[in-house]
């Protein structure tokens, strides 16, 4: 089982939407056959424990048929250490996550910006159209980004074969 952790500020909009969409994409095979063995979670750098996700986030996820847990969790160092990949919505989120595990090179190396081209805008307070736009952005970014970063992590641990693929015995 590979764990992908999405992080934002309050864990009520962007990261739970990414989590739900990633779960749906995995069910649909967007990450290849190994993606069915991925576990997706989310947390917030400043989240209030067990706060509900925003109504707009819930509505978008429901319209997509994407599963979600519906409550927030505050990011901690143990979450980062247990994850295989940590994806922050902004450079600030990445910086906060790295600060939580400062000095732990292995943990820091798995923290990345979700969109390599820049920050994912916060839709809070901008209406349902902003949430729908966010869902389209995530649907576009997630498959290639997660697949690429998890493959790179495998390669850095030296487990890919000479063709750059996972050996049969390591596939989930």
Residues known to be catalytic: 8, 14, 122
Rg (CA), the chain: 16
Report which of 87, 80, 88 is spatially closest to residue 106, judged by C-alpha positions: 80
Which helix (H) or strand (E) segment holds residue 39: the answer is: strand 38-44
Report which of 156, 166, 165, 143 is spatially closest to residue 4, judged by C-alpha positions: 143
97, 45 Cβ separation under 8 angstroms: yes
- First-to-last alpha carbon distance for the chain, in angstroms, is 7
Token look-up 């693929």 returns 165
Can you tell me the distance from the alpha carbon of 164 to that of 154, in angstroms, rounded to the nearest whole number? 10
């Amino acid at each position: 089982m590979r764990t992908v952790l999405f992080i934002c500020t309050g864990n009520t909009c962007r990261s739970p939407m990414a989590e739900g969409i990633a779960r749906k994409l995995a069910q649909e095979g967007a990450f290849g056959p190994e993606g069915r063995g991925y576990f997706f979670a989310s947390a917030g750098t400043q989240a209030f424990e067990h706060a509900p996700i925003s109504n707009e986030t819930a509505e978008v996820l429901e319209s997509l048929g994407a599963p979600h847990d519906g409550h927030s969790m505050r990011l901690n160092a143990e979450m980062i250490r247990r994850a295989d990949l940590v994806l922050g919505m902004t450079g600030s989120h990445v910086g906060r996550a790295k600060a939580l595990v400062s000095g732990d090179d292995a943990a820091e190396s798995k923290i990345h910006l979700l969109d390599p081209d820049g920050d994912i805008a916060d839709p809070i307070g901008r209406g349902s159209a902003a949430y729908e736009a966010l869902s389209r952005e995530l649907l576009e970014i997630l498959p290639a980004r997660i697949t690429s970063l998890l493959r790179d992590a495998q390669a850095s641990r030296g487990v890919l074969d000479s063709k750059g693929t996972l050996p049969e015995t390591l596939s989930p």
